[in-house]
Amino acid sequence: MRRDWMPFLTDFKNAGLVGVSGFVLSIILVPIAASGHEDTGRHKLTTAGSNTLPTLASAPERASQGIRKEKQSDQGKPERKSRRLIKKPTPPSQPAGPASTLPGTDQTATAPSTSSSKDIPGREKSSMAGSPSGTSVPSMSGVTTVAPTVPIPAASVNAGAAPGSATSPMAGIGISSGSTPKASGRSFQNLIQQAPGLSQLLTGLPPGPVIPPEPIAPLPPPLASPQPGLPAPPVNWFAYHVLNRLTYGGTPNQLNLVASLTTAAEAQNWATAFMKEQLELDPTRPWPTNLHSTSPLPAPIPIQDIALDIMLSQDKVDWRADESDSSILSPNFSELQDHDLIRKMHSRRQLKEKMVYFWDNHFNTNYRTHSKGQYELQENEAFRARAFGTFLDLILASGKSAAMMIYLNTDVNVKENPNENYAREVLELHTLGVNDQGTPNGYTQFDIVEAAKAFTGWDNTPDVRGGFRFVSSRHSPGSKLLLGQSIPFNGSGPSEGEQVLTLAARHPSTARHLAKKLCEYFVSDAPSPALVNEIASVFADSNGDIKKILIAIFTSSDFMNVANYRGQVKTPLEYLVGLYRNLGVWSSRDPFRTRLVGVGQSIYEFAPPTGFKEKSIEWLNTNVLFHEASMAYETTINGFGSTIRYGSPSSGGSIRLWMDELKLTTEEQILGFLTNLAVDRMVTATEYQLYLSTLRAGLGGNAFDIKNASREDALDRTMATILTNPRYLYQ
């Protein structure tokens, strides 16, 4: 059941780094195991050790693994994926495929490539430019990726270690309170700092401007019994709010960090820097002010995320080749979902992932219409490369993607009998939209018919690579008339359809439609008309520059209004990924993928072109509440799912050992920590007593003792209770 990252280690050896990686691992395992509240990147590394290298595991770690042994055997089924334990070198890079024919790119152009794998077109302008290009970027043209050459998780490679860090614009970002890591003398980050150049030695990368990981935060203070009545938002609410909205949920370390911000001003500063980092902006500079224009923003400063890159590349080792083309890796449906969930759960580029989901959902497609994992993956990658780009670029990528052309029948839209499916949904859902009464916002059936004609001739390449081509013999003759504008006939290329998308993307109704949808996503289910107007005007004035639109949203007074704090309801996907992130889950995610299907948000196979609804009311029903409570129980209660482990890997999934490791020994300390993971330490007097009595259940008059194994169940149930608090449904 557990996810094994053995191949991850194997690759280090393949990369000729066995000595170094062994050295690194043996150093890192113990201190990290002891500190237990590192950021995600470190969790991954220690996971690798604790899961697959028992000889490297520290003694307490081995002991803790025994604690939940019965959990592992509950299912009575063989260890899943034991094949992962077999040494399996990462597939060597394949000969380059045909020139990339990616959505939205000139089909005759060859994508610039800086590595032996085909990079995704547009990637050079994407935020990932600064990340190690040799690692794990899913190859859009289906070429397998090269082995990771970077054995160190992102968390460990701090830009601060790079020469010139003193003058780096990044210096001093992150937390400003100078928190001292508990295990500072032994942390890997510290090790790197003590050995300048080590990261470069290991990575072979030139030191570039990147957003480094956040520092290790101190633990939150104990939680005292609150006063009766409605709990007030914490003074640092805005920092929690930013984590709630811009990410799928804070990691334990991020949440600890936020808890350490003791004034509103500190929280504001931290949150502002965090938002800028997530937008790939220099956090030391003021917000850009050219939002109502087409002038460019500063070049993006990428967020380093090597650990994720490695994890994703490892996730692909089981993927099989497409049945009709052995050079193309074709994930099956569960692999496709898993891959995306890993990314959402572990990526440091959280806002980007939230936007990728937004676009993937806005331009919904359904795997079941083509059954090619690579098509969905390719489209997902195209959205990632353009997540902060322009709307026109996004819709062109969508419209020309194999997944969309099959899903909405563009590939069978021919001059003899145009198929209106894509044309209709582009206008109704992707661009102009309909109003609350269902009336089209400025288009008619005539426009649909004309647009369908303009798209005739668009098609997939005959192979299974998902390339775009234009078939002139299928193209409808004559000029077309769309939204009152004439589109001249062009029988030799896809320009008519592109013009349809351009006219639709530039239409004022589209600016409004997208502005409203984005405000609903990030701010409130009922955004104020003033906010929507403002965002729509940024959309229009910037020609749909998504990053400018996001800046405008995040700096709006509505977003910063405490009335919107925890004012939305999570979608099941947000609940699931958030649960993983909040608790630092490091084991299998598979049972949860099944829950996601049961709850009705099975990504990549939603049939209606609307995509999943985002508004709170759409996800408030008994089925969703049941499955979400079940997810919480599966994470925490032995026997109810029983395969999920969280906390520090070195405590083996035992929350009691985790608390013990962190030296959280009193009830107040434990509740201070646990409520911070889930509900921003907001607790009513009733809840406090409930948590306390659950924590102390069965103790009678005896004192609480974290060393007492009887507290195992009590802590499980306390965590389960905190997670099933209705307040945890809100974001």
Partner 1 sequence: MPMKPRLKRDLPEPLPFDRDEKEPSCRCCGESMEILSRRMFLRRAAGSAAAATFLSLFPGAFFPRETALAATNAGKTLVVVFQRGGNDGLNTVVPYQDAEYYVMRPRATNGGIGILPPGSGDGAGLDLPGTGFAIHPSIQPLLNLYANGTLAVVTRAGFAGSTQSHFTDQDTIERGVFSMQDGWLNRYLQAVPAAGSPNIRAAGFGNDLADSLRGQVLVPAVNNLRSLSFARLNSAKAPLEANLRAMYAQDPALTTTNPFRSLVHQLGPDMMNRVAAIEAIGPAAPQNGALYPNTGFGTQMRDLAHVIRSGLGLEVATVDIGGWDTHEDQGGGGTFAQNQGGRLADFSGGIRAFYDDLGPLMSNVLLMTCTEFGRTVRQNASNGTDHAKATVWFLLGGGVKGGLYHGTAGWPASLIPANLDEGRYIAPTVEFRDIFSDVLTSHFGATASELAAVLPGHVHKPVGLFG
State the minimum distance, in angstroms, from the CB of residue 369 to partner 1.
9
Three-state SS at 614: coil
The secondary structure of residue 123, as a DSSP letter, is G
439-468 footprint of partner 1 as x/- string (CB under 8 A): ------x-----------------------
Backbone angles phi, psi at 594, to 5 degrees: -65, -40
Q: Which of residues 229-248 bind partner 1 (CB under 8 A)?
A: 229-231
Q: Is 414 in the site for partner 1 (CB under 8 A)?
A: yes
Nearer to partner 1, 227 or 262 (CB): 227
191 binds partner 1 (CB under 8 A): no
In the block, residue with structure tokens 């580029």: 349
114 exposure class (CB count in 10 Å sphere: 0-12, 13-18, 19+) = exposed
d(CA 603, CA 608): 12
Contacting partner 1 within 639-678 (CB under 8 A): 639-641, 643
726 HSE (CA, 13 A, CB side): 4
Residue choice 171, 235, 625, 699 for contact with partner 1 (CB under 8 A) = 625
Report in angstroms how near the CB of residue 588 gets to partner 1 at its nearest.
7
By CB under 8 A, residue 292 contacts partner 1: no
* 602, amino acid identity: S
Q: What is the DSSP letter of 327?
A: E
Nearer to partner 1, 118 or 595 (CB): 595
Contact flag: residue 607 with partner 1 (CB under 8 A)? yes
359 binds partner 1 (CB under 8 A): no
Question: Residue 23, interface with partner 1 (CB under 8 A)?
Answer: no
- Per rule CB under 8 A, is residue 595 in the interface with partner 1? yes
Strands 325-330 and 480-482: unpaired
Is 472 a binding residue for partner 1 by CB under 8 A? The answer is no
**Taking a C-beta distance cutoff of 8 angstroms, is the pair 372, 330 a contact?**
yes
Bridge partners, 586 (sequence order): none
How many Å is the maximal CA-CA distance in the chain? 88
Min dist CB 600 to partner 1, Å, is: 3
CA distance 75 to 60: 25
332 binds partner 1 (CB under 8 A): yes
DSSP alpha helix (H) spans, 528-681: 529-541, 546-554, 572-583, 590-599, 622-636, 655-661, 667-678
Q: With binding defined as CB under 8 A, does residue 497 bind partner 1? A: no
CA distance 179 to 189: 14
With tokens 């990030």, the residue in question is 522
Cα separation, 516 vs 528, in Å, equals 9
Q: Is 95 in the site for partner 1 (CB under 8 A)?
A: no
- Report 530-589 residues binding partner 1 (CB under 8 A): 563, 566-569, 588
Q: Which of 100, 556, 630, 635 binds partner 1 (CB under 8 A)?
A: 630
Given 600, 665, 696, 699, the residue binding partner 1 (CB under 8 A): 600
Neighbours of 726 (CB within 10 A): 9
The answer to whether the CB of 221 falls within 8 A of the CB of 188 is: no
Q: Is 177 in the site for partner 1 (CB under 8 A)?
A: no
How is residue 226 written in tokens?
A: 């609150």
For the CB of residue 333, give the shortest distance to partner 1 in the complex, in Å: 6
Residue 320 near partner 1 by CB under 8 A: no
Q: Which of 623, 666, 708, 710 binds partner 1 (CB under 8 A)?
A: 623
416 or 700: CB nearest partner 1: 416
Site string for partner 1, 691-710 (x = CB under 8 A): ---x--x-------------
User: What CA–CA distance (Å, rounded) separates 440 from 407?
Assistant: 22
DSSP H stretches of helix in 36-156 = 40-52, 59-67, 69-73
**Which of residues 195, 412, 530, 709 is near partner 1 by CB under 8 A?**
412
Subset of 369-388 contacting partner 1 (CB under 8 A)? none
Cβ-based nearer residue to partner 1, 214 or 335: 335
Task: Give strand ranges (E) for 479-541.
Answer: 480-482, 485-487
**Of positions 69, 87, 368, 663, contacts partner 1 by CB under 8 A:** 368
Length of the chain: 731
Binding piece for partner 1, criterion CB under 8 A, among 55-63, 155-163, 201-209, 624-632: 624-632
The one-letter amino acid at 119: D
Closer by beta carbon to partner 1, 27 or else 629: 629
Total residues binding partner 1 (CB under 8 A): 89
In the complex, least distance from residue 650 CB atom to partner 1, rounded to whole angstroms: 24
Which residue from 171, 297, 540, 690 is in contact with partner 1, where contact means CB under 8 A?
690
CB of 82 to partner 1, least distance (A): 11
610 touches partner 1 by CB under 8 A: yes
Between the CA atoms of 537, 104, 339 and 387, what dihedral angle is there, to the nearest 10 degrees?
-20
